[in-house]
Amino acid sequence: MVWAIDLQERKDEDPPHKPLVDTINAALATKTLASFLTPSFKQLSRIHDLDAGLIINHQDHWRTVATNAPLVWSGSCGRSQMISQEDYNFIVAYDNVLNDSTKRNALVRQQSQQCAKTFLNLLGHIAKDQTIQYLLVLIEDMLSSNPSASADPRPLASADRRTVLDKGPRSPKILIFRSADRELSSLSPFQRKDGCDRFGSIVRCDRMRDGALEVEFRKSEEAAKALDATRFVFSEGRASGRRLVSIPLTVEPHRSKNSSRGVINCFDLRGVSDEDIADGLADFGVTAARRIMTKRGTVSTNNIILTFDSTDLPSEIRVGYVKVRVRPFVPAPMRCFRCQRFGHTKDNCRGRPTCSKCASQDHTDETCDSETPRCVNCGEGQTPHSAYDRSCPAYVKEKEIMTIKATRNLSFKEAREVYNQSHPKTSYAQKDKENGRVFREYAQQKGESVWAPFLTLLNRPDDISVNLTAWILARLACDGGRQMEGSDLQLYITWLKDQLRKSENQYLPTVARCLQLMLRIDEYRFAFMRADGVNTLQAVLSSGVNFQCQYQLVFCLWVLTFNTEIAETISRYNLVPLLADILIDTEKEKVVRMCVATFRNLVDKPESASVSRENAIQMVQCKVLRHLELIALRYNTDEDLRADVDYLTEKLTLSVHDLNSLDEYTTELKSGRLEWSLVHKSDKFWRENASRLNDNNYQLLKILLHLLDTSKDPLVVSVACHDIGEYVRHYPRGKRVLESLDGKSRVMEKMLSDDPNVKLCALLAVQKIMVHNWDYLSKKLAKDEAEAKDSLKNPLGPIQ
In whole angstroms, how large is the CA radius of gyration of the chain?
37
Instruction: Give the pLDDT band (50/70/90) at residue 48.
Output: very low
**What b/e sequence results for 651-681 when a residue is b if at least 16 CB atoms lie within 10 Å of its CB, and e otherwise?**
bbeebeeebeeeebbbbbbbbbbbeeeebbe
Q: What is the pLDDT of residues 457-478, one digit of tens each?
A: 888 888 888 888 898 888 888 8
**Model-wide pTM > 0.85:** no
- CA 99/CA 105 separation, integer angstroms: 11
The amino acid occupying position 149 is A
Residue 23: pLDDT band (50, 70, 90) is very low
Q: How confident is the model at residue 42 (pLDDT cuts 50, 70, 90)?
A: very low
CA separation for the pair 603, 647 (Å, rounded): 10
- The CATH number assigned to the domain with range 451-671 reads 1.25.10.10
What 3-state DSSP class applies to 705?
Answer: helix
Segment 230-258 mean pLDDT: 83
> What stretch(es) of the chain map to CATH 3.30.70.330?
173-253
The Cα diameter of the chain in Å comes to: 149
Most confident of the following: 18-27, 283-292, 740-749, 753-762: 283-292
Residues of the chain with CATH 1.25.40.150: 678-788
pLDDT tens for 172-216 read 788 999 988 888 888 999 999 999 999 999 988 999 888 899 998
Convert the pLDDT of each residue in 545-602 to its tens digit. 888 999 999 999 999 999 989 998 888 888 888 898 898 888 888 999 999 999 999 9
Distance between CA atoms of residues 620 and 653, nearest Å: 9
pLDDT at residue number 96? 74
The yes-or-no verdict on residue 107 having pLDDT over 90 is: no
Residues of the chain with CATH 1.25.10.10: 451-671
The DSSP-derived string for 578-620 is: HHHHHHHH---HHHHHHHHHHHHHHHHS-S-HHHHHHHHHHHH
Query: What single string gives the DSSP state of each residue in 248-277?
Result: E-EEEE-TTTT-EEEEEE-GGGTT--HHHH
Q: H helices of 13-148, where?
A: 18-29, 61-64, 85-96, 101-110, 112-125, 129-143
Instruction: Specify whether the CB–CB gap between 512 and 504 falls below 8 A.
Output: no
Residues in the chain: 800
pLDDT the model gives residue 154: 33
d(CA 228, CA 232): 12
Range among 547-551, 727-731, 740-744 with highest mean pLDDT value: 547-551
Between 193 and 657, the more confident residue is 193
Q: What CATH number was assigned to the domain covering residues 173-253?
A: 3.30.70.330
3-state helix, strand, coil in the chain (%, to 5): 55, 10, 35
223 secondary structure, DSSP code:
H
* CATH superfamily label, 678-788: V-type ATPase, subunit H, C-terminal domain (1.25.40.150)
Confidence of residue 493 (pLDDT cuts 50, 70, 90): very high
pLDDT given for residue 527 in this prediction: 92
Among 495-499, 641-645, 652-656, name the most confident range: 495-499
pLDDT tens digits along 700-717? 888 888 888 788 888 888
Residue 641 to residue 562: CA distance in whole angstroms: 17
- Distance between CA atoms of 31 and 25, rounded to whole angstroms? 10
Instruction: For the domain made up of 260-328, give the CATH fold.
Output: Alpha-Beta Plaits (3.30.70)
